[in-house]
């Protein structure tokens, strides 16, 4: 055991957020929780049948984690509104970020979404999108962005962050350092950008600076290789972008999360062992793997090996776990006991 009172397996698992198939606490999901000790799960439409089923699922996974001696789980979902909204009827449907006309619209979205999350047990929203693209640019994110003006994106995104978090839901701003000026979908392959650091600082960065000022809980990295900033690694595996730019230059001390490591941008170019090596080195806290499969167990084993590795990597590892557990203490301490009396708080 260690200063966090967690086993090596638990320390390794805290670095993972995973997707799964099914609508209930099935054997695969139990395996992720009791054997791989994952720190969080991410939900998709494939996991949701109804509000009552969703509530039962969220409560059962938290109770099961507690019964296994686990800290509470991050339970996340992509609920941006518009084209990316995993929650359908009877949950509130919003027209999407491009259709927001005012700060009041953003606040209303955050307040209602937080209320509905609290009713079901979801505690983290992979939103808002803080990407921005010049007017008229055929961006892959065109139907998901607030607009083409960094100041406007900052205002609306900041209002969403504030209202979600005031309502008790952790917000995750994405996709750092910005993918608005991208035309290739990173779900399919690895986009390469020729933007300079100055380009990004002047146009893409302001919304993320606002997110940090608003004390956003997490920031998700993009799967773009910015060849004039880091010639070798995409943002989600880059020390230059995740550690130097986001942590050191901007001073962000919250959770840093990869985008889905199953996406083509990573899957077609990097094996999971190398990806996890890079994630630890770059001070990225959570590896997001959105589909069930052997990759999750392989990632767990690599994380576990890192705990016994040389001192510098071990210190990096423990610093990430400390951030994760501190966020859970701040946001999930209310999950001490469920209706049946099962302790599902942080041990």
Residues noted as catalytic: 187, 259
In which residue are the tokens 């083409």 written? 148
Distance (Å, rounded) from C-alpha 126 to C-alpha 140? Answer: 18
**Long-range contacts, stretch 30-36, CB < 8 angstroms, 24+ apart:** 30/64, 32/296, 33/61, 33/64, 33/65, 33/68, 33/70, 33/73, 34/64, 34/68, 36/9, 36/296, 36/297, 36/300
B/e letters for 289-316, b = 16+ CB within 10 Å, e = fewer, are bbebeebbeebbebbbebbeeeeebeeb
The CA-based diameter of the chain, rounded to the nearest angstrom, is 56
Determine which helix (DSSP H) or strand (DSSP E) holds 316, and give its type and residue range. helix 311-332
Distance (Å, rounded) from C-alpha 338 to C-alpha 344? Answer: 7
Distance (Å, rounded) from C-alpha 199 to C-alpha 178? Answer: 11
Distance (Å, rounded) from C-alpha 203 to C-alpha 238? Answer: 20
Q: Name the token pair of 175.
A: 């996709």
Radius of gyration, alpha carbons of the chain: 19
Contacts of 65 (CB under 8 A, 6+ apart): 33, 71, 72, 73, 344
Q: Is 207:147 a contact under the CB 8 Å cutoff?
A: no
Distance (Å, rounded) from C-alpha 258 to C-alpha 236? Answer: 5
């Amino acid at each position: 055991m260690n200063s966090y009172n967690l086993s090596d397996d638990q320390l390794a698992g805290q670095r993972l957020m995973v997707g799964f198939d099914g609508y209930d606490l099935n054997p695969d999901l139990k395996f992720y929780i009791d054997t791989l000790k994952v720190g969080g799960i991410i939900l998709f439409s494939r996991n949701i049948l109804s509000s009552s089923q969703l509530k039962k699922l969220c409560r059962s996974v938290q109770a099961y984690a507690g019964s296994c001696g686990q800290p509470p789980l991050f339970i996340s979902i992509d609920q941006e509104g518009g084209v990316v909204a995993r929650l359908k009827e009877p949950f509130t449907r919003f027209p999407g970020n491009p259709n927001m006309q005012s700060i009041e619209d953003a606040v209303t979205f955050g307040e209602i979404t937080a209320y509905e999350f609290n009713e079901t047990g979801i505690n983290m929203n992979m939103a808002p999108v803080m990407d921005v693209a010049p007017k008229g640019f055929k961006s892959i994110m065109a139907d998901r962005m607030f607009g083409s003006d960094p100041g406007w994106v900052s205002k609306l995104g900041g209002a969403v962050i504030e209202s979600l978090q005031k309502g008790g839901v952790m917000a995750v701003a994405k996709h750092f350092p910005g993918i608005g000026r991208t035309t290739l979908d990173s779900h399919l392959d690895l986009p390469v950008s020729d933007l300079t650091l100055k380009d990004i600082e002047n146009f893409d960065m302001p919304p993320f600076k606002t997110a940090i000022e608003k004390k956003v809980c997490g920031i998700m990295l993009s799967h773009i290789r910015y060849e004039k900033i880091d010639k070798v690694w995409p943002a989600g595996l880059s020390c230059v972008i995740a550690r130097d730019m986001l942590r050191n230059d901007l001073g962000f001390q919250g959770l840093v999360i990869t985008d889905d490591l199953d996406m083509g941008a990573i899957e077609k170019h990097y094996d999971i062992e190398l990806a996890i090596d890079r994630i630890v080195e770059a001070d990225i806290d959570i590896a997001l793997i959105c589909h069930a499969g052997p990759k999750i167990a392989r990632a767990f084993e690599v994380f576990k090996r890192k705990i016994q590795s040389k001192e510098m990597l071990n210190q990096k590892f423990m610093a990430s776990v400390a951030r994760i557990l501190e966020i859970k203490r701040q946001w999930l301490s209310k999950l001490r006991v469920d209706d049946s009396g099962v302790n599902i708080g942080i041990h």
